Amino acid sequence: MKLLKIGISGVRGIVGDSITPKLVMDFAAAFGTRVRSRAVLVGRDTRISGPLLHAAGLAALLSTGCDVLDLGVCPTPILQYMVPRLKAGGGISITAGHNDIQWNALSFINQDGMALNPFQGAEVLDIYHLGKFKKVSTDRLGRVRDVALYADEYFDGLRAFFNSEAIAKARPKVVIDACNGAGAPFLEPMARALGFELIPVNHEPNGYFPHDPEPRPRNAQQVVAVIKAVGADVGFLLNSDVSRVSCVTETGESLSEEFTFPLVAAEYLKDRCGPVVANLSTSRMIEDVTRDRGCPLVRTKVGQSYAIQALVQEEGVLAGEGSGGVALAGFQPAFDGFATMGAILQTMAARGRTISRLVGELPRYHIVKEKIYCPPSKVHSVVSEVKKFFRRHEIDESDGIRIEDKSGWVHVRTSSTEPMIRIIAEDKVKNKARERLDEVSAFIRVLVQ
């Protein structure tokens, strides 16, 4: 079985198995065809397979007549920020985000610097399936150009957006684990821009991931140890392209990635009330926070593409998901780990509170997650069968199966990145969350076998 996911936001698979030069070239050529030979920004995270995808992507983009503005190793949110500022037709970020080292992916960015919306994504897919790529003659081939000083422009923007003086005055000690990913070379510029003291962990952008590049408690041991050793104020874990963040408190408690979004929202919405976007799998914490601030909450299907589309359509102020991705619309409509960290640091500085106190102000829920491997040929029918299990409930089918009652909810959906079924359950009471999950999980396991 080959692991390959082709979707509206890009293509993701295992290098040497489903990710081949031809596949990458065909997708990049489809994207180049869609942007009609305008310039395209290309960046990548630090994965060993990055140069392979980069070379294949460049060749294909050039062949469709697109100039390539090559950012080299670059976090996705910085690439997104630069797309409109360089007046490019779009961007391709070569990264598999939180997936482990054997994966890689192309994720497509539109001319506004946002993840392609579902319609734009469908256009690229149509061109890919049709296989009719634009081909230009020698004289009209694209050229590769390097872009100088783009990080300066990004961090100048970040500094101006936040109350950097307040952060610099507090000068917090911040431990950040970039997981040897694309974030590593950009953390020092960020620390200079916002005025905090950086204590980096796994800071070599060499593509060897010391743990899965997924910001969540089980990967936080190193950060926890360093925080205790140096007496830092806060710790952050990043995924390989800095689109997701999870936090560790000054006491060494590694917080679930579900806390990142409500932590940002609680303070951010005080000054800028407006619609907030969360996906169906995101903790109810965000419902309580938005209700307290008097902001409407919009729930979407899971995936950055849907969240960002809703953010734009609803003229929202904030979008996020339980996996640690947060978009601050006022800065840029993209899941941006730098802006997420900036917002949390600003909250700590402005309110003079420790991160553990800020977390203490949030409502506590218990969220449990499980994934069940399932052959791609069965995965959708299995999820559909789950409806029978919930036949006495009102089912939300906008993304898989979701049922909800007063004290909690459970969500069953097919993963958009791997051949498996994700189950997420949440409840005020810890045991009840586990119960909700175990019931449906047992039902699904029987179906999968």
Q: Decide: is 368 part of the binding site for other proteins (CB under 8 A).
A: no
Among positions 26-45, residues that touch other proteins (CB under 8 A) are: 26, 29
Q: Decide: is 16 part of the binding site for other proteins (CB under 8 A).
A: yes
Q: Which of 36, 140, 169, 272 binds other proteins (CB under 8 A)?
A: 140
* Segment near other proteins (CB under 8 A); pick from 16-24, 175-183, 227-235, 308-316: 16-24
Tell me the closest approach of the beta carbon of residue 136 to other proteins, in angstroms. 5
Reported residue count of the chain is: 449
Q: Decide: is 137 part of the binding site for other proteins (CB under 8 A).
A: yes
Tell me the closest approach of the beta carbon of residue 21 to other proteins, in angstroms. 4
Nearer to other proteins, 95 or 260 (CB): 95
Nearer to other proteins, 46 or 414 (CB): 46
Q: Decide: is 72 part of the binding site for other proteins (CB under 8 A).
A: no
Q: Decide: is 130 part of the binding site for other proteins (CB under 8 A).
A: no
Q: Decide: is 139 part of the binding site for other proteins (CB under 8 A).
A: yes
Q: Decide: is 24 part of the binding site for other proteins (CB under 8 A).
A: yes
Sign of CA dihedral 52, 48, 32, 39: negative
Q: Which of 130, 144, 229, 446 binds other proteins (CB under 8 A)?
A: 144
* Segment near other proteins (CB under 8 A); pick from 129-137, 146-154, 267-275, 347-355: 129-137
Q: Which of 40, 62, 264, 349 binds other proteins (CB under 8 A)?
A: 62
What is the total count of residues that contact other proteins (CB under 8 A)? 36
Residues binding other proteins (CB under 8 A): 14-17, 20-22, 24-26, 29, 47-49, 51-53, 55-56, 58-60, 62-63, 101-102, 135-144
